[in-house]
Structures are given as C-alpha cells and as structure tokens.
Amino acid sequence: MLRAHVGLLADIGHRLLQNVAFHCQRVQCLRVGNTMIPDHKRIEIALQHIHGIGRRRAHQILCQLGVGNRPTRDLTATEINLLKDEVSKYLTAGDLKRVVESDIKKLADIQCYRGYRHACMLPCRGQRTKTNARTMKEHRRRGIGNWERSQALAQNMEKYQEREQGR
C-alpha cells in the first residue's frame, strides 16, 4: 500500500517538474542531427560529437556557413537553424550506422572474403591473427554477435571453396 503511494507521489512530482518553467537557467546542450552537442565547447569541436562528422567535415560545414569558430552558446537562432540544415545534408548517427550494417550484411550475403571474415569475427583488412587481433578474438569468445550464424556461414564458405578447387 505504501509503495503505491510513493510511486504515485513520484509520478506527480515528475509531471510537475515537466510543467514548471525554469527562469534564468541556460540550456546546457544543443540538439543538432539527432545528437546533443555540448554548449560550452567551440562549434568545430562540438560538431565532432555527432557520429559521422569528423574534423574535416566540421571545418567544411563552418566554412560553408561562414560562421566563426566560437563557443556554441554564442550562436544566434538563425545560425543554429543554418547549422541544423547543413548537418542534415550528411549521413549521420543512426542513418550512417544503418548503412554500414547493411553494407556488411551485403558482403556476408554474397559470400565474399570480407563477408566471411566479418561473419567469423576476424579482421578483414590483412592484419595478422596469430599474435594480434585480440579484440576480435575476445568478442568471439564472449559470444558477442550471432556465433551460430557465423559458423553456418563459415561452413558454407568452406563448401564453396571446395567446389571452386574441384573445377
């Protein structure tokens, strides 16, 4: 009975806080490209908090907008809108992650070497695996990812390689 009242009071308090307008309090972050960027850092550095925007692209965006590299909190409303429009032209955050995942899935579906290496959770850019590649081996040992699927793909690749050698 007491727990129900405590939950009810917490819910009421939460709703009251949502409806109260806080005066003389500044916003600590700015939302650009579905990502919160810090308010206290310079724009060029703050933009790099968005997944898919690095140093070069942040500098390129600022040059295109003609906005100086000053703290984010000093931006005007029009500059913020221009910045949001410019960032929305690029693949960022969730969209970029989705594209990369679909590209890796395509590699696995066509059963190419890189797809095989991704499926087996091994490095696919020519690195040695006898003494290095510990991170990938640890992920494999812990079961991060779909181990059964990768094993089935590995068996399919072995069959494919045997067929190719038989020709």
Cα of 25 vs its chain's centroid, Å = 30
Contact between 18 and 10 (Cβ < 8 Å): no
pLDDT tens digits along 33-60: 788 888 889 999 999 999 999 999 999 9
Angle at the Cα of 130 from the Cα atoms of 125 and 134, rounded to 5 degrees: 70
Which DSSP letter does residue 39 get?
S
pLDDT (average), residues 24-39 = 74
Q: Evaluate if residue 25 carries a pLDDT over 50.
A: no
pLDDT tens digits along 52-102: 999 999 999 999 999 889 999 888 889 999 999 999 999 988 899 999 999
User: Do the bridges between strand 35-38 and strand 29-32 make them parallel or antiparallel, or are there none, so unpaired?
Assistant: antiparallel
Report the mean per-residue pLDDT for the chain: 80
Of the two residues 104 and 153, the one the predictor is more confident about is 104
Question: How is domain 25-99 classified at the architecture level of CATH?
Answer: Orthogonal Bundle (1.10)
- Residue 26 token pair: 């500044």
Residue ranges of the domains in the chain?
A: 25-99, 110-166
